[in-house]
């Protein structure tokens, strides 16, 4: 899963999604419209949250894939033929984007 932090102006990625969600409703706790100072403060917080979340997940995410002999078929399929492919021969662990 690709995760994009976004930018400090909150015009892209996760920072934009957080900013849009936070400021999109009338119950956001701010005046409407936001003052420049309020918008800048919220954007800084949204970017910090987005960066922290993405950094935490990409640094510490762990996915264990355990293949049981009785269930190794149909773990994945060939995208062209849609035929079952062979399962990995060993259990795999994905940590920080690296397979062990």
Domain boundary assignment for the chain: 1-60, 61-100
What count of residues does the chain have?
100
DSSP state of 94: E
Q: What angle do CA 6, 94, 53 make, to 5 degrees?
A: 25
Task: Identify the pLDDT of residue 100.
Answer: 45
Name the CA dihedral angle for 49, 55, 57, 63, rounded to a multiple of 10 degrees: 180
Query: What average pLDDT does range 88-94 have in this prediction?
Result: 58
Strand partners, 4: none
Instruction: Check residue 97 and give its pLDDT.
Output: 53
The CA distances from residue 88 to 1, 61, 63, 85, in Å, are: 20, 20, 15, 9
What is the three-class DSSP state of 59? helix
How far apart CA 68 and CA 87 sit, in angstroms, is 9
80 secondary structure, DSSP code: T
- Across 79-85, average pLDDT: 72
pLDDT tens digits for 24-76? 876 767 767 888 998 999 999 999 999 999 999 888 887 766 655 555 555 56
């Amino acid at each position: 899963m690709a995760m994009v932090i976004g930018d400090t102006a909150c015009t892209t990625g996760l920072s934009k999604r957080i900013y849009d969600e936070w400021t999109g409703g009338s119950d956001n706790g701010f005046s409407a419209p936001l003052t420049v100072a309020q918008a800048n403060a919220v954007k800084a917080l949204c970017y910090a949250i987005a960066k922290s979340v993405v950094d935490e997940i990409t640094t510490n995410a762990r996915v264990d894939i355990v293949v049981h002999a009785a269930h190794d078929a149909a773990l994945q399929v060939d995208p062209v033929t849609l035929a079952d492919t062979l399962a990995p021969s060993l259990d795999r662990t994905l940590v920080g984007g690296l397979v062990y």
